[in-house]
Amino acid sequence: MQRALVLGGGGVTGVAWELGLLAGLVERGVPVTGADLVVGTSAGSVVGAQVCSGLPVQRFYEEQLAPPSGGSAARLGVVALARLVWAGGRTRDEVRSRARIGAMALAARTPSEASQRAVIEARLAAREWPARRLLVTAVDAVSGEFVVFDSDSGVSLVDAVGASCAVPGVWPPVTIGARRFVDGGMRSTVNADLAAGAQRVLVLAPTSAAFGPMPRLSAQVDELRAAGSTVVVVTPDAAARTAIGRNLLDPARRAGAARAGRSQADAVADEVSALWG
Active site positions, annotated: 42, 183
CA angle at residue 118 from 116 to 204, to 5 degrees? 70
Question: What secondary structure letter does DSSP report for 34?
Answer: G
Cβ-based neighbours of 254, under 8 Å, separated by 6 or more: 12, 13, 15, 16, 64, 68
Q: Give CA–CA dist 51/5, Å, rounded.
A: 10
For residue 203, the SS3 value is strand
Asked if 25 and 121 touch (Cβ cutoff 8 Å), the reply is no
| Alpha helices per DSSP H over the chain | 11-27, 43-51, 57-64, 78-88, 94-107, 113-123, 157-164, 217-226, 238-244, 254-276
Widest Cα–Cα separation across the chain: 48
Asked if 197 and 190 touch (Cβ cutoff 8 Å), the reply is no
Q: Give CA–CA dist 43/207, Å, rounded.
A: 11
Cβ-based neighbours of 219, under 8 Å, separated by 6 or more: none
CA angle at residue 27 from 5 to 270, to 5 degrees? 65
